[in-house]
Amino acid sequence: MARTARPGSLVVGRVSGAAELADAIIDLVAGGSVADGDRLPSTRALAEQTGLSRGTVVRAFDELSAAGFVVSTQGSGTRVAAGAGQAARAGARTRGISRTSSSSPLMRQGTRTSSPEVPAATTASPAPAPPAPAPPAPRRGRSPRDLRPGIPDASLIDDRAWRSAVRAAAAQGLAGLNPWEEPSPALRVAVADHLRRHRGIAAGDPVLFDSSRSAIAALCAAFAAGQQGPAGGGAVRFHTEDPGYRGAVLMAREQGLEVRFHPAEPGGLDAARLGSEPAIVFTTPAHQFPLGHRMSVDRRVALVEWARRTGSLVIEDDYDGEFRYGVAPLPALVSLPAATDHVAYVGTSSKSVAPDLRVAWCLPPTAMRRDVERWLAVHRRGPSTLPAEALAAFITSGAMDRHLARAARVYSDRRSRLVAALRRERPDLEVTGVEAGLHLCVVLPGYDDDEVVRELERAGWRTRSLSGQSAQHAVSGLVLSYARLSSRDAADFAVELRRVLERLGSGGTPTTRTPTVLES
């Protein structure tokens, strides 16, 4: 049975700020003085004990929550998250490693980002929430019966807040801005603050792109330029999970890399499979696309250590990292020891806001930063100025935090209703990826998932086959987004899927095709 830390029972020593307090608590967790599930003192009690202001203690708790070490539940206080001890002993900390020095042009500007009133941990909290009221019907874009992944529900965004952000961006004018060489200083500061508060990452000065694909291409090109390839002078290898994100594979091949596929596993990519040569690894540890697995702490640590030992680069695509349901966030790879020179973090606004903003960011290793920025300037793949400035205003006003808090509640409810409907109609089916993100997978062994997709489309449902995301390790199933799915449509879809599977029977020909675009 988990111990319960009484208010005032933490002995944290002398600390002078939020960062030191957060690190002191993690040290206690790592040493076993505080265990997973233990309740921490209230912010008021800890402020009195340490002599810090309550606001400073709140900021420390926010950083601990963002990094996945604590979980706050209304009525139950703040407790140490499950798995926090293992992560702390592995060396994870809240603030990661800063990728820039105080002498960088961005930091010298002295730009400040106002902290919104909504706590950053709101979206990460696994506290159960009552079913959210149905939002207004989507005004544009895909049909609600289009369950293909990739598009959030833009109708959840507060129109007034977004229009205000756009007006603020337009009022600044365009004179003096160079999107190709120095994209949006305001957005870089806003994103850095957002990552610190929501993901526990000391981002420093992010490099801005128009998409995660562009960021991946720049990282591949920069790393390959400094390598001779494996023994024998071959191309630099690019390791990735299968099934996985096809866009990353396409970018790697455009840069002339040799793609190696590894079967996706529940615990994440196994570093023991990767060999001893310098290489690039692409992974989505927060919510593996498309199966939805979360990489375990052990494998996170092993992967970063492998990269350090071999002189490799890990590209951490924080896919769907903003949304988690009933689980605490795990430390980002980039926050682990030894990650600073070997892990590049990539994020995007495509799920948190909308993909048509075309804004992404990257935290490259310091040694690669100049090459990444040079690629960006040559290829002109930075975000457009007005959307970037609008997103910066949206974040700094606090509207982004409020949007994420509301969206997390709505998406959690939609996910729960779809999972319940699927289990009601076909309790024998395996459903994966339900802990995070905006999509899940239904595994369909024995079925041709392309045929299932075609039958569902005849009934008015757009879905995506799981085998279509595979190159060498085909898995039959469906990839289903619930981002725009109403409760009634969730029930109707589950009924239609049961009917389709009954018509096709379990004796259908399993999927065996390999998509040409992904052949290795």
User: Tell me, what CATH number does 478's domain have?
Assistant: 3.90.1150.10
Residue 137 has pLDDT above 80, yes or no: no
Name the residue among 120, 303, 378, 345 with its Cα closest to residue 219: 345
In a domain? residue 101? no
Distance CA 222, CA 217 (A): 9
* 275 and 336 co-located in one domain: yes
pTM tops 0.85, yes or no: no
In a domain? residue 121? no
Question: What CATH number does the domain containing 330 carry?
Answer: 3.40.640.10
pLDDT at residue 387 in the model: 93
* 384 and 410 co-located in one domain: no
Name the residue among 144, 207, 119 with its Cα closest to residue 402: 119
Average pLDDT of the chain is: 82
Name the residue among 341, 216, 218, 201 with its Cα closest to residue 284: 216
Strands of 289-435 (E only): list them: 313-317, 343-348, 360-363, 430-432
Structural domains of the chain, count:
3
Question: Residue range 109-137: average pLDDT?
Answer: 36
* 286 and 370 co-located in one domain: yes
Question: Residue range 463-480: average pLDDT?
Answer: 92
Span 477-503, pLDDT tens digits: 999 999 999 989 999 999 999 999 999
* 219 and 242 co-located in one domain: yes
* 464 and 510 co-located in one domain: yes
- Residue that finishes a domain, picked among 371, 398, 425: 398
In a domain? residue 102? no
pLDDT at residue 359 in the model: 96
Residue 176 has pLDDT above 60, yes or no: no
In a domain? residue 243? yes
Span 49-96, pLDDT tens digits: 888 899 888 888 887 876 778 887 767 788 888 777 877 776 666 554
Question: What CATH number does the domain containing 88 carry?
Answer: 1.10.10.10
- Residue that finishes a domain, picked among 95, 112, 133: 95
> Model confidence at 260, in pLDDT bands (50, 70, 90)?
very high
* 224 and 291 co-located in one domain: yes
In a domain? residue 436? yes
> Model confidence at 244, in pLDDT bands (50, 70, 90)?
very high
Distance CA 465, CA 512 (A): 12
Check residue 226 and give left, alpha or beta (phi > 0: left; psi -120 to 50: alpha): alpha
* 457 and 311 co-located in one domain: no
How far is CA 447 from each of CA 316, 421, 442, 512, rounded to the nearest angstrom?
A: 33, 20, 12, 10
Rounded to 5, what percent of the chain is helix, strand, coil? Answer: 40, 10, 45
Dihedral sign from CA coordinates of 77, 133, 493, 324: negative
Name the residue among 437, 430, 422, 435 with its Cα closest to residue 483: 437
In a domain? residue 420? yes
Q: Tell me the one-letter amino acid at 87.
A: A
Question: Residue range 249-265: average pLDDT?
Answer: 95
* 194 and 226 co-located in one domain: yes
Q: Evaluate whether 372 touches 364 at the Cβ level (below 8 Å).
A: yes
* 243 and 323 co-located in one domain: yes
- Residue that finishes a domain, picked among 348, 368, 398: 398
In a domain? residue 65? yes
How far is CA 448 from each of CA 146, 280, 426, rounded to the nearest angstrom?
A: 20, 33, 17
Terminal C-alpha separation, the chain: 50
In a domain? residue 78? yes
* 225 and 353 co-located in one domain: yes
Q: Evaluate whether 80 touches 70 at the Cβ level (below 8 Å).
A: yes
- Residue 475's domain spans which residues? 401-518
b/e map 25-62, b = 16+ CB within 10 Å:
bbebbbeeebebbbbbbbbebbbebbebeeebbbbbbb
Question: Residue range 448-457: average pLDDT?
Answer: 97
pLDDT at residue 138 in the model: 44
Distance CA 470, CA 519 (A): 9
* 435 and 357 co-located in one domain: no
* 241 and 348 co-located in one domain: yes
